[in-house]
């Protein structure tokens, strides 16, 4: 038997209903906040991620699915391709490639799609996973650096989680500084680490050499007392980063979005500046981050584009769906009416009636070929249908149909035109707000 590749999985119904529900809600929210969809290729030039996410990050150094593509001619070298591990780099590449800065104002994009990282699979961590993300990017003159942009993005996320009925989320907030203050902080960090490097975990010893900021993110329990004693980014912010961070917090407070400061929050990607954040959820265990994001004011320039400060986030859709399942509020799609034709001669009548009712938005399943009333009603109940409609000679001739409510057992006789109104008072739309 051929199985799905390690770390990948099939998403099956009925769970896919929850995925569609989440995506429909997200799209609706993006519309209200005036974000528009962007779709970038899953396949990109490996260099894109080396230059944005950073060569020393775990993502690029250890977790990429990358390979050298076949050369076109023998004399040529192949191009190195990669499955995207995240989508911000692709969006900023597209922003530069299509000169999107020439469009007026700030650009607000969102995307929904698969990402790939060769991580060790576990609950909530996959090699193919899905992100719903958004980016706000544009020239400074268009207001892209404003702390209000940061706060608005965070408020939108809080609204999404609240709107989905997800309880118990925490917004963790930090400022990771900028090109002005980062070198000074890094030097202080390196100095402090120099004395303790022999006592920290092997991974952190490597990070000390390659990317000391990541030491702050270490989860190894024995390292924690040492990490607590290290310098804090918040003590090294320059004046403009400090003011920016204070403003973000002020706006968030005014908007009523709760947050906690976490001065050890560093993100696993090099391009972040200033505001960095994560939304975590208590019920998810070790992989408790559902959303990650932050500013990337220098990213466009580092990819050869114009100055275009920006901020974005990525929601881990796999984990968001898990959080939703934890909260118990998952949508289910239900057959409204199971039409049970009593005899092969009724098949055509059933097909015609099904077409009529489906046009009215009623979810119809047409019964099987057993044509036995008892069996049909059993199947209808098993498949979770709300009503069964019995279709025999008599019904066709009289135009009166027996409609059985499978939950109550109650049966009524209705004319064709009244079928819709009879069931629609209780019609279910799994995406409607009332249902949740
Ligand atoms: P990042 O792109 O690393 O900032 O991650 C943003 C969000 O994507 C995280 O908070 C997770 O919810 C999700 N995520 C990242 N990596 C994985 C993975 N391997 N499997 C599932 N979700 C992931």
Q: Which of 317-321, 356-360, 363-367, 425-429 has the lowest mean pLDDT?
A: 425-429
pLDDT per residue as tens digits for the range 260-297: 999 889 876 778 899 999 999 987 777 789 999 999 99
248: number of Cβ within 10 Å: 26
Percent of the chain whose pLDDT exceeds 90: 75
Domains, in order of start, for the chain: 15-179+241-327 (3.30.930.10), 182-236 (no CATH), 337-435 (3.40.50.800)
- pLDDT score for 431: 47
Distances in whole angstroms, Cα of residue 252 to Cα of each of 245, 246, 274: 11, 10, 16
Q: Is 195 left (phi over 0), alpha (psi -120 to 50) or beta?
A: alpha
Which atom in ligand 1 lies closest to the alpha carbon of residue 125? 20
Q: Distance (Å, rounded) from C-alpha 182 to C-alpha 273?
A: 9
- pLDDT score for 73: 77
Strand, helix or coil at 44? strand
Q: Which of 179-183, 297-301, 320-324 has the lowest mean pLDDT?
A: 179-183
pLDDT per residue as tens digits for the range 242-268: 999 999 999 999 999 999 999 889 876
157-180: average pLDDT = 94
Q: Which of 316, 319, 321 to mutate to test the pocket of ligand 1 (most atoms within 8 A of CB)?
A: 316
Q: Distance (Å, rounded) from C-alpha 340 to C-alpha 375?
A: 10
| Whether the CB of 131 sits within 6 Å of ligand 1 | yes
| Whether the CB of 316 sits within 6 Å of ligand 1 | yes
| Whether the CB of 133 sits within 6 Å of ligand 1 | no
Helices within 220-263 (DSSP H only): 224-228, 239-255
Q: Which of 86-100, 138-152, 388-402 has the lowest mean pLDDT?
A: 388-402
Distances in whole angstroms, Cα of residue 225 to Cα of each of 207, 222, 236: 17, 7, 21
Helices within 287-339 (DSSP H only): 299-302, 317-327
Q: Whose CA is nearest to atom 1 of ligand 1?
A: 292
399: number of Cβ within 10 Å: 10
Residue 339 reports pLDDT greater than 90: yes
């Amino acid at each position: 038997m051929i199985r799905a590749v390690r770390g990948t999985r099939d998403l099956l119904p009925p769970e896919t209903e929850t995925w569609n529900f989440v995506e429909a809600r997200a799209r609706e929210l993006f519309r209200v906040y005036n974000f528009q969809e962007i779709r970038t290729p899953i396949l990109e030039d490996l260099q894109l991620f080396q230059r944005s996410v950073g060569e020393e990050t775990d993502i690029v150094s250890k977790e990429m699915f990358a390979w050298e593509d076949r050369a076109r001619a023998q004399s040529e070298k192949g191009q190195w391709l990669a499955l995207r591990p995240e989508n911000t780099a692709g969006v900023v590449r597209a922003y530069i490639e299509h000169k999107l800065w020439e469009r007026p104002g700030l650009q607000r994009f969102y995307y929904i799609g698969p990402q790939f990282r060769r991580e060790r699979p576990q609950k909530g961590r996959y090699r193919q996973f899905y992100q719903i993300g958004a980016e706000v990017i544009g020239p400074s003159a268009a207001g892209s650096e404003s702390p209000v942009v940061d706060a608005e993005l965070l408020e939108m996320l809080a609204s999404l989680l609240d709107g989905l009925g997800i309880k118990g989320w925490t917004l963790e907030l930090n400022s990771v500084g900028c090109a002005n203050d980062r070198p000074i902080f890094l030097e202080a960090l390196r100095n402090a680490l120099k004395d303790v490097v022999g006592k920290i975990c092997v991974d952190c010893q490597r990070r000390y050499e390659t990317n000391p900021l990541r030491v702050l993110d270490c989860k190894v329990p024995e390292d924690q007392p040492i990490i607590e004693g290290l310098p804090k980014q918040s003590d090294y912010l320059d004046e403009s980063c400090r003011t920016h961070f204070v403003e973000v917090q002020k706006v968030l407070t005014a908007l009523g979005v709760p947050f906690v400061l976490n001065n050890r929050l560093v993100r696993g990607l090099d391009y972040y500046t200033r505001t960095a954040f994560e939304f975590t959820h208590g019920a998810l265990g070790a992989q408790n981050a559902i959303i990650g994001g932050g500013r990337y004011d220098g990213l466009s320039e580092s990819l050869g584009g114009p100055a275009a400060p920006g901020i974005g986030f990525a929601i881990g859709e796999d984990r968001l769906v898990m959080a939703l399942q934890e909260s118990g509020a998952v949508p289910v799609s239900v057959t409204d009416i199971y039409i049970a034709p009593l005899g092969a001669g009724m098949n055509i009548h059933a097909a015609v009636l099904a077409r009529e009712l489906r046009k009215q938005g009623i979810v119809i399943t047409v019964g099987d070929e057993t044509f036995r009333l008892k069996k049909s009603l059993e199947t209808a109940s098993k498949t979770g249908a709300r009503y069964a409609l019995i279709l025999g000679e008599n019904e066709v001739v009289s135009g009166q149909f027996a409609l059985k409510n499978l939950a109550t057992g109650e049966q009524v006789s209705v004319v064709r035109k009244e079928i819709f109104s009879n069931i629609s008072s209780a019609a279910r739309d799994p995406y409607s707000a009332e249902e949740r």
